[in-house]
A and B are shown apart, each in its own frame.
Chain A
Amino acid sequence: MAYRAQQLNFPIPSGFGLGAAALVAALILGTLGVVAWNAPDAGRLGLSDWVAVRFTVSQAFISAALSVAFAVPVARALSRRNFFGRGVLITLLGAPFLLPVIVAVMGLLAVFGRSGWVSQALELIGLPPIPIYGFHGVVIAHVFFNLPLATRIILQGWAGIPAERFRLAAQLGFTSRDMVRHLEWPILKRTAPGAFAIIFAICLSSFAVALTLGGGPRATTVELAIYQAFRFDFDLGKAARLATLQLAMAGSAAFLAFWASKGQGGFGKGLDRATQRWDGATRVARMSDVAFILIASLFLLVPLCAVGARGLAALPDLPISVWISAWLSIKVAALSATLAFLFSISIALTAVRFAWVESVGLLAIAASPLVIGTGLFIVIFPFASPQDWAMVVTACVNVVMALPFALRVLIPAVQDVCEGYGRLSLSLGFSRWAMLRLVILPRVRGPLGFAIGLAAALSMGDLGVVALFAGTSEATLPLQIYRLMGAYRMDAAAGAALLLAVLSFGIFWICDSWGRRDA
């Protein structure tokens, strides 16, 4: 007979989590309050504000729609084909999540830029190059980042269909059409809206992509506009107006995403295990599957290879400033990992007793790094030089950004441990700390390592709030790359980008394998 967990008072510390959740909420809402308080005329929205809103919403909508539309045939091909390298390809689909934006932007410029490979090919047949700066570029970059995410979400839905169903379908002689109607469509109907909503929410808060590929009055996202209002005009009123607008937009999009993806799992465990399927054996089906897998792979891999090749050549001659920046970025990532450990585990422990604490993750999805940054700048400014705090703020903001994902894997893991071993632990009389040290931490090490690694990698590659805070001297590696690009030192920038990619994946790998070690 099942015993509801609520009846039992598990010996786990939950006070710290309440404190941590309150701190996160204060960081998100408090900074918005500070910005609003300091804005003299926060009510009125100007024409340029509305242009930014329109651009933000339309690029996010198009990016999400294209990502999902393209992901459906790719996921379908991956779900019904079993080929050499399938597992590696699916693992790679998880990579853009950790890839620093600036690295991807460099890769996309190498392929789609004015002197990029695609443009040169187009020129050969007498066509004008694709305009990479502006709306097109922003959408291409967003599809680059979110196509893999959409593919994984949709693939995960289909991977959940039991193998027996496919056997039954083969037995009954389902055609490709019947497969779609009875098996694939009912699942897609549930997964695709969630994927769309999540990507829409992510693209709404886009800053680094807009900073590097957008800009100008006609291609500015609200996040970028906050940065410009603050950094160039020091117009706090405008920054506050835009910040409120951003939080309202991102908040409703996050809520929509949360609602649309209800009841779906996290990050696609066991996706590399292909279910045997008997459909799609026709020549047309096979050729279209191969084509979609090939196009998607090229779209994702060629830009990365372009940066890698150019960067490798430039690596020996990297200026010393790049190495200094790299060391700084490593320190930021280490701080971020430590904070992520403390915050995510304490909030997850508390969520076992007070389920509503999980909603702080929802708040974090809606949070805007630039708003938090602006607010903290205003708070710190009277007391200290914000430049000195740039690294700490970067680490904190990225811990908040990683929190929703961390909680999504950690909370179910902690709950499982409590459900499976809570009664045994109670009957043995564990103290709270013994329970944490001996039972919970060892059993949730896998998801914990993932959560810490995610926070570390995100702050390693972050080009957001650091742009707001950093002075002219010190710069993290992503900011250094941005500056090198601005100075048209593209070789050095490519070398630094390669270094950054290696560092980001490296730190994630270290944390993640700590979690998996003798698990």
Chain B
Amino acid sequence: MLELKDVELRQGSFQMAADMALDGDTKVAVIGPSGAGKSTLLMALAGFLHPAQGAIVWSGVDITKAAPKDRPFSVLFQDNNLFPHMSIMQNVGLGIRPSLRLSAAETTRIHGALEAVGLTGMGARKPAELSGGQQSRAALARVLVQRKSMLLLDEPFAALGPALKVEMLDLVAKLCAETGAGVLMVSHDPNDAERLCNQAILVAGGRAHAPVTTMQLLNNPPAALRSYLGK
């Protein structure tokens, strides 16, 4: 259970409030007009922006002040998810042990993760030698070995073509089904939200609204979302 208790986020003159609770194993889309604060909400959860007030609670434990690495989330950013000077193996290995001093068992785990995302035998390559889709797969392999409870996606697949993006969303769904992890995904495409997430949070007008089912939100959008969707 993830709870945001009277959270208020401030960045310069920007301000937004969030007060909600959601199950830790659900897949939730974060939808709203650009500039409304979708990414801000995600970054606050990940620990890169401290709330001006309120508390973030995970399974009854207050994680408002916890360091990013100590939170139950793995994160995929819009870009720079892989270190270009490291091999794919090393990039995935960072998810287990950032010092990269890995045991044989841990190396086996990396191979397993690469296999799960369809990158068998590509561990020795550098990110630049991979296609955009393969790079996303490598980042997902790292998420897999991190074994965190919830995955935060800040539009990491935005640069991919429509077919590849669908492929990635399906891969995320598959991995989450295997590990039981939840997903919180920022998206500006309602189709993505519908495909992956059964619930959705609307971020608009300085407020992150409590989650409702995605269908309900998209079929019956409030005014702020309606103009954004063009309906």
Contacts and interface: CB of A to CB of B under 8 A. Distances in A.
Contact of B47 (A1, A426, A442): A426
Nearest to B38: A1
A8 interface: yes
Contact of A424 (B39, B80, B99, B100): B80
Contacts of B40: 1
B83 interface: yes
A443 interface: yes
Interface stretch (B68-76, B102-110, B199-207): B68-76
Contacts of A427: 46-47, 68-69, 73-75
A438 B74 CA distance: 20
B51 interface: no
B118 interface: no
A434 B100 CA distance: 9
B58 interface: no
Contacts of A423: 46, 48, 68, 75, 77
Nearest to A8: B48
Given A3-B48, A7-B48, A431-B99, A426 B43 contact: no
Contact of B68 (A420, A426, A434, A438): A426
B24 interface: no
A50 interface: no
A37 interface: no
Interface centre among A420, A423, A428, A519 (most CB of B within 10 A): A428
Contact of B95 (A428, A439, A442): A428
A438 B50 CA distance: 27
A185 interface: no
Main secondary structure of the interface of A (DSSP, over half): helix
Given A421-B80, A439-B83, A428 B43 contact: no
A429 interface: yes
Contact of A426 (B48, B83, B94): B48
B98 interface: yes
Given A426-B69, A429-B67, A429-B68, A438 B47 contact: no
Contact of A438 (B70, B81, B95, B98): B98
Interface centre among B47, B74, B83 (most CB of A within 10 A): B83
Contacts of B11: 1
A429 B81 contact: no
Contacts of A438: 83, 86, 94, 98-100
Contacts of B70: 429
A430 interface: yes
B67 A431 contact: no
A1 B203 CA distance: 15
B85 A428 contact: no
Given A434-B99, A438-B98, A3 B49 contact: yes
A7 B11 CA distance: 10
A442 B70 CA distance: 26
A429 B69 contact: yes
Contacts of A8: 48
A424 B81 contact: yes
A439 B94 CA distance: 11
Interface in A403-457: 420-421, 423-431, 434, 438-439, 442-443
A429 B74 contact: no
Contacts of A7: 48-50
Given A3-B48, A428-B69, A442 B85 contact: yes
27 contacts: A1-B11, A1-B35, A1-B40, A3-B43, A3-B48, A7-B49, A7-B50, A8-B48, A420-B80, A421-B83, A423-B48, A423-B68, A423-B75, A424-B83, A425-B98, A426-B67, A427-B74, A427-B75, A428-B69, A428-B95, A428-B98, A429-B69, A431-B98, A434-B99, A434-B100, A438-B94, A439-B83
Given A1-B11, A428-B69, A442-B86, 4 more contacts: A8-B48, A421-B83, A426-B67, A434-B100
